[in-house]
Amino acid sequence: MAEPTIPILDLRAVSKTYAAQGRITEALRGASLTVARGEFVCLLGASGCGKSTLLRIAAGFEAPSSGAALMWGKPIPGPGPSRGMVFQDYGLFPWLSVRDNIGFGPKSRGRPAAEVRETAARYIDLVGLQKFADAYPHQLSGGMKQRVAIARVLANEAEVVLMDEPFGALDAMTRERLQDELLDLWARTGLTVLFVTHAIEEAIFLADRVVMMSPGPGRIEAVHAIDLPRRRDVSSPAFNDLRRMLAAQLHSHHAPKAA
């Protein structure tokens, strides 16, 4: 892979501690990660490993307690349109139709109304929700809501899409279909994706690189490049070897605690 001189995301020795009710919790210790433009990176780990914290720092929702979070070499000042976030619970605006949810970003950034409509229509097409353009979120299934959430971020010209267990609340069939759709979008648009999951198979199926994280305090344990050709066959021997290897590593993190 041709590595550009400056990575799109550069997280340098990022730590995060929270102080709540007199107790200090260390959520993340010394996590370093660079993401190249166009890369698909999964953060994989059990709960409490700090993967969501790392993602929220990249989004700008939280500032690191120490270390630095950079985009194109500049510190991330706070949440902004260049880093779009897709939440597990969708975070759609219930009072806006599908069309207006997708147009929310462009409208917020002062684009003319005609352009907002045109952009929204284009991304409604992209995620195949033409028939539901005027529906409200409560009328949609979970899978459709998540398509809206993805389209909303893409319509806003996000350079990086940050996804926090986006398919975790969906049933297995919907999840597989959306994984395929996401890879298809990613291949067509040249997006950069940072994707949090606790499902080993999902990480191997999607990612260029899988970042293994472990809890107590949260830190990056290992980074694995996944070299399998796409579209990946989840039942192939190579896929299974990877799955076994990652599972062993993931579970070894828990061993000391279980003993």
Which listed residue (12, 34, 136, 199) binds another protein by CB under 8 A? 136
Closest CB to another protein among 18 and 93? 93
Tokens representing 172 are 């297995």
Chain positions 62 to 91 lying near another protein, rule: CB under 8 A, are 78-81, 83-85, 87, 89, 91
227 three-state secondary structure? coil
Closest to another protein by CB, 82 or 240: 82
Closest CB 141 distance from another protein, rounded Å: 14
Largest Cα separation within the chain, whole Å, is 63
**Contacts for 157 with CB less than 8 Å, ≥ 6 apart:** 81, 82
Under a CB-based contact definition with an 8 Å cutoff, are residues 235 and 204 in contact?
no
Binding flag, residue 52, another protein (CB under 8 A) = no
Site for another protein in 93-112 (CB under 8 A): 93-97, 104-105, 108-109
Q: State whether residue 22 is helix, strand or coil.
A: coil
Q: Figure out which of the listed residues 99, 147, 152, 219 binds another protein, where binding follows CB under 8 A.
A: 152
Per-residue 3-state assignment (H helix, E strand, C coil) for 176-202: HHHHHHHHHHHHHHCCEEEEEECCHHH
Q: Which of 11, 28, 59, 182 touches another protein by CB under 8 A?
A: 59
Answer for which of 15, 53, 119, 156 binds another protein (CB under 8 A) is 156
Q: From the CB of 89, what's the least distance to another protein, in Å?
A: 6
Please tell me the distance from the alpha carbon of residue 125 to that of residue 105, in angstroms, as a whole number.
17
Nearest to 87 by CA among 21, 162, 138: 162
Nearest approach, Cβ of 161 to another protein (angstroms)?
A: 11
- Interface with another protein by CB under 8 A: which residues? 59-61, 78-81, 83-85, 87, 89, 91-97, 104-105, 108-109, 136, 138, 152-153, 156
